[in-house]
Amino acid sequence: MGTENPGRPTFPSRPPFAAAQTMTPFAPTAAVVGSEPPSFRPTPPAPPLASTPFSSSGPAVAQGTPSFRPAPLGRFNDPSVPPPTSNVPPAGGPFQRFPMPQFSSTAQAPPQHPPPMGQPPIQPSAGQTPSFVPMGSPPSSATPALSGLNVPPPAFQPSFPGYAQKQNGGVQMQAPPVHSSPLSNQGNYGPAPPAASSPFQPHQGGYVPQPPGAGPLGIQHMSSQASGPPIGGVQGLSEDFSSLSIQTRPGLMEPSVDAKELPRPLDGDVEPKSLAEMYPMNCHPRYIRLTTSAIPSSQSLSSRWHLPLGAVVCPLAEPPDGEEVDVVNFAATGVVRCRRCRTYVNPYVTFTEAGRKFRCNMCALVNEVPSEYYAQLDATGRRVDLNQRPELTKGTVEFVAPAEYMVRPPMPPIYFFLIDVSISAVRSGMIEVVAQTIRSCLDKLSGFPRTQIGFATFDSTIHFYNMKSSLTQPQMLVVSDLDDIFVPLPDDLLVNLSESRSVVETFLDSLPTMFQDNVNLESAFGPSLKAAFMVMSQLGGKLLIFQNTLPSLGVGRLKLRGDDSRVYGTDKEHLLRLPEDPFYKQMAAEFCKYQISVNVYAFSDKYSDIASLGTLAKYTAGQVYYYPAFQSVIHGDKLRSELRRDLTRETAWEAVMRIRCAKGVRFTTYHGNFMLRSTDLLALPAVDCDKAFAMQLSLEETLLTTQTMYFQVALLYTASCGERRIRVHTAAAPVVTDLVEMYRLADTGAIISLFSRLAIENTLSRKLEEGRSAVQLRIVKGLREYRNLYAVQHRLANKIIYPESLKFLPLYGLALCRSTPLRGGYGDVALDERCAAGHTMMTLPIKRLLKLLYPNLIRLDGHLLKADEMKSIDRRLPLTGESLDSRGLYIYDDGFRFIIWFGRVISPDIAKNLLGTDFAAELSKVTLKEHNDEMSRRLVKVLEKFRNTDRAYYQLCHLVRQGEQPREGFLLLSNLVEDQMGSYSGYADWMLQISRQVQQS
């Protein structure tokens, strides 16, 4: 395929390195977020530290138990010291980028060749010679190549070998000429250029079929049918790396790093753009994000990638602003798919034989085009109807499914509410808030006029409600036999909302007072769960559970396990985080089988065994909401907002999801809330825009023979309007032979998202300490492999090096180890809170997860004093005590709560304006509300602005004043992840630990 390129210089081969030992510390199991503990818990004496794999290099992360201690002098800025003004590293500091060494002047430069399409010829300036960087290049026998299958033309040329490239010294390089021949019947990017002008040819909404024997990039020679950007050894290894200097300062025995130079994600999550530039018809990255956008070409290369290899998928993510998902109805034609691998038609299929056939981009099978779908090809190979076919030009599209995609008529949206009415629920005010919120959302429930609704309440007995439309008020039906559950009047317990609206409203108005005198302490939760299943099993739907008391009667009753300090640090520790009774997992399997999704709202101020109750949500694609010590006066707004979103957000009903890959790779493990129905089919009784799923990828073949890998997510579901639909997301990614390319195109957000799910699952079978150590080990091995790539060519002593794409990985790894599901041990986090946090993090999309791990810290007092500066209020500060000025007002926002910190010497006028007469009171007893003052109104607007950026969760305000211990400790100081706190490492120490372990052989 192709010819030798005589003008190409011969690069020296990379020196061999010993293969790093491969280890998979995570074993996927099941899932297990809540807010901070309601009160600070005393810390028992720390147990002896267990040995860890890193004992020779400093303490492991978050061993033992933290203790909160007042900040030492100088921790917060004194009023006489101005606050920090910038976190930008100074030019020329230790955090810098290193250019690669150049060839000697005797190296042969390659001949000139015509530039790529759309680029003017590039010539070196007078007196300059193009420079080349050989660092770590592949063996000389391996030549970057373009083989012929399915690589799309980029919107503009990225920095890959074979294209004019700007080097560090300002010198531009050009690669050897590429011989290319024009292609017919392909293209949707304009008329074909002259044969010799570029390796890219126009082609229709799909890509050039692969000739026999074509190999991945970097293995075979240039093919005349190349249709995309080459990815290869030379450019990848000429890419600069970033580094951090380790310094030994006078008077200090230990080395240190300058904290000001540490990389910080102060811009939050940044969605990767590399694939969008290379493959402009890919779906948006908010639907699919790969942990690295470069797929390894071989199992041996994959084994050197010690970080997770996989993807994070959010199939119903809200479209980018100004965009809508196109709905395509093939009508009588039926959905066009490959007859062998069942891939849906997409922008990367290619049409041949004058448009009568198409080649599948996944398996390369040539399929007949249905006569109703046939369209001629124009002179450039484009379908003449291309502009009217969004499925051939866009990576995300929705097909209307015909009758063969249904096993029953599409179900209507169904909401069934199971409400605890025991004495603790009544006293907390939960019942009143729930009833009022449901009533306010009746007009906004999706699916009108098909929507159905039903209610049941329980204490020591179960209460059903007949809401037949012919009644003027509901009838209560009580079942007290918990051993032999039956459903009275089964046809009248789920009613059509539009027909029985007045009866439903009457019930919701009377519910808060119906049980106001109830003194029943018991909870027949298990039997009521079975009763709800019997009511809903005919159609399915969404079951919303409001639970306040530990189940104590009938099947599914639970014991008060609580936190046993004697168990922590032993082999039985993980059992506390697993369901105690198999009843709940069995019920979850039954719910999923009958298309019922369960959302659990837990409110108890005592132990309520979230580890067991959360199982219902885990296996039914549901969600866990946790409100410890709920009181409606304090937490009512949060419950109202989150329940309203749960009821009104667009929901996909009775859904199944499958992810297809091109030949040679497959997804092996899946992580999130779902039931795995077969090896690759995820059952999702109900799914929405707030749910994300992670999965790990593995290579099935020793060597991939394609140049581009394709992925397609297909979600078959019933829309609330009653239509059966298929949402399809398609993405392409390059296959590479070079490990440096994998690092260069890595996505920290996707890696951390997969890391977090693996780590949380790890805590269900191992000790917390082992889960944290596993995270650290994977990061160390990944950075060690990267360091080995450059160890020969550079002097790396006293330097921490990492790829630019992963510069935030160590910090996010530290934050993950200090997160609620993983940190500390007994006494650090209440068991229910730890389990609820784990359940929540298992479902979070990437952007929300990264904000939870590294929250926003923003100074407010300057903005409140000057109304015209509100636009710049998003400036984030590093999460360290040095960012806090004793004269300032700060907000800490992790997406789930606000913590507003008042400096010790803040202006009395600011405190008085914001807090009113409570400005001098203990802030734990103060509720922030709007006062008749301009500054107070500005603060309320700021909080509303932050809440509007993401409405999935409602952030309640927690007020704390500097020096209020232990409240300041557990609310804020323990969450400043860059500072050392008790046994938790700070950011600088963590980087030094990582550096020592990376440099160990």
* Reduced 3-state DSSP string for 666-731: EEEEEECCCEECCCCEEEEEEEECCCCEEEEEEECCCECCCCEEEEEEEEEEECCCCCEEEEEEEE
Q: Report the candidate in 62, 24, 105 with the shortest Cα–Cα distance to residue 306.
A: 24
Residue 113: pLDDT band with limits 50, 70, 90: very low
Residue 440: pLDDT band with limits 50, 70, 90: very high
The H-or-E segment that residue 654 falls in is strand 651-661
For 736, phi and psi rounded to 5 degrees?
Answer: -125, 160
**Range with the largest mean pLDDT of 190-204, 631-645, 930-944:** 631-645
- Spatial separation of the C-alpha atoms in residues 158 and 188, rounded to whole Å: 20
- Spatial separation of the C-alpha atoms in residues 187 and 166, rounded to whole Å: 29
- For position 252, what pLDDT does the model report? 65
pLDDT at 814 over 80: yes
Among 61-70, 292-301, 389-398, 468-477, which stretch is predicted with the lowest mean pLDDT? 61-70
- Spatial separation of the C-alpha atoms in residues 603 and 638, rounded to whole Å: 12
Residue 924: pLDDT band with limits 50, 70, 90: confident
- For position 978, what pLDDT does the model report? 96
Segment 612-631 mean pLDDT: 96
- For position 26, what pLDDT does the model report? 41
- For position 438, what pLDDT does the model report? 97
pLDDT in tens, 291-337: 999 999 999 999 999 999 999 999 999 998 878 999 999 988 899 99
pLDDT at 148 over 70: no
pLDDT at 70 over 50: no
- 299-to-236, 311, 698, 950 alpha-carbon distances in Å: 19, 18, 8, 40
- For position 241, what pLDDT does the model report? 76
- Spatial separation of the C-alpha atoms in residues 801 and 786, rounded to whole Å: 8
**All residues at 6 or more sequence positions from 88 whose CB lies less than 8 Å from its CB, including other chains:** none
Residue 683: pLDDT band with limits 50, 70, 90: very high
Side-chain half-sphere CA neighbours of 968 within 13 A: 18
pLDDT at 639 over 60: yes
Segment 732-749 mean pLDDT: 96
Residue 700: pLDDT band with limits 50, 70, 90: very high
- In the chain, % of residues over pLDDT 90: 59
- For position 563, what pLDDT does the model report? 63
Segment 966-981 mean pLDDT: 92
pLDDT at 359 over 90: yes
- For position 362, what pLDDT does the model report? 95
Q: Which residue has the higher pLDDT, 275 or 149?
A: 275
Segment 611-623 mean pLDDT: 97
- For position 191, what pLDDT does the model report? 42
- Spatial separation of the C-alpha atoms in residues 587 and 556, rounded to whole Å: 10
Segment 635-645 mean pLDDT: 97
pTM above 0.85, yes or no: no
pLDDT in tens, 483-509: 989 998 888 899 999 999 999 999 999
pLDDT in tens, 851-906: 999 999 999 998 888 866 566 677 899 999 999 999 999 999 999 999 999 999 99
Q: Which residue has the higher pLDDT, 189 or 583?
A: 583
- For position 815, what pLDDT does the model report? 97
Average pLDDT, the chain: 80
pLDDT in tens, 117-126: 444 444 444 4
Query: What is the DSSP-derived secondary structure letter of residue 893?
Result: E
pLDDT at 423 over 50: yes
